[in-house]
Amino acid sequence: MHKKFFTSQNLTDIPWLKHGFFTRNGGFSNGVFKSLNCSLGSSDNKQNVLKNRNQILKSLNIQNSKLYIPNQVHGNKVWMIENKNFNIKIYADALITNKKGIVLGILTADCAPLLIVDKNKKIIANVHCGWKGILNGIVENTIEKFIDMGSEKKDLIAAIGPCISPKSYQVKNDFINKFKNTEENFQDYFIFKNNKSVFFNLPLFIKVKLLNNELKNIYILDIDTYSNENNFFSYRRSFHKKESDCGRQLTILSIVD
């Protein structure tokens, strides 16, 4: 089934919020980028990418809002967007705002998009979660920014979007070693099938970080980007297929009222 976007059950009943975990479907791009590629960092036609981004805003009826997508660097920086006139390049892996008319966008192709919302204070964040950024503290830094802006942890709602699932994320011992020094119970994030087959559970790693920071309202969409080629770009799948490049899907979040 070709689907245009998914939503999270724990966010859909918030009347002032619009969100969508968009897939690769319904756009203007061709070839390996077919069809809703939203990455200007790819070798796709730039005009097609811009049309794809605009198509997403139109589909949620927020085309008059300003879309911000950071240059994602697998780091731990959280950037606050305070007005629609902000035009410099952003190098960060999380965006946060409490302003209307702003759309926070994150690009993924196996990493997880993480949405966090304060339903009382009307503060929202969109977070790019790969293993490096999570190890570097991107989840904790985003939650800390909410607290700085007046939120209470009990009011925060989190949704973990489509990403690579454990069954598709086989890793080697050198990958496991990156977790040993900093992560207590690091073995919980890995599935050891035998001495040679080890698989990493990215959604669980994010969930534990959220739980450790006292967030309780967490929803995981549990959709695998690697095996679901009809709906998602996957960096790992493109690499395995020796494709020339890989598209990115866009996840967006916006305060509309």
Q: What is the 3-state secondary structure (H, E, C) of 76-95?
A: CCEEECCCCCCCCCCECCEE
* Token pair recorded at residue 249: 């899907």
How many CA atoms, within 13 angstroms, populate the side-chain half-sphere of residue 191? 13
Residue 85's pLDDT is 75
Domain 5-255, what fold?
Answer: CNF1/YfiH-like putative cysteine hydrolases (3.60.140)
Instruction: Look at the block and give the residue holding tokens 């011992």.
Output: 173
Phi and psi angles of residue 112, each rounded to the nearest 5 degrees, phi first: -100, 135
**C-beta of residue 247 within 8 angstroms of C-beta of residue 109:** yes
Q: Are strands 156-160 and 217-220 parallel, antiparallel or unpaired?
A: parallel
Distance of alpha carbon 195 from the chain centroid: 32
Length of the chain: 257
In one-letter notation, the amino acid at residue 243 is E
Compute the distance between CA of residue 104 and CA of residue 101 in angstroms, rounded to an integer. Answer: 10
Compute the distance between CA of residue 164 and CA of residue 149 in angstroms, rounded to an integer. Answer: 32
* Token pair recorded at residue 104: 């926070």
Q: What is the CA radius of gyration of the chain?
A: 18
Nearest to 251, CA basis, from 39, 43, 14: 39
Q: What is the dihedral of CA 129, 130, 131, 135, to 10 degrees?
A: -50
Instruction: Provide the terminal-to-terminal Cα distance of the chain, rounded to the nearest Å.
Output: 33
The mean pLDDT values, 10 residues at a time, for the chain of 257 residues are 93 98 98 98 98 98 96 98 86 98 98 98 98 98 98 98 98 93 93 88 98 98 97 98 97 97
CA distances from 213 to 37, 76, 247 (A): 34, 16, 33
Nearest to 115, CA basis, from 24, 256, 225, 7: 7
Residue 193's pLDDT is 87
Residue ranges per structural domain of the chain: 5-255
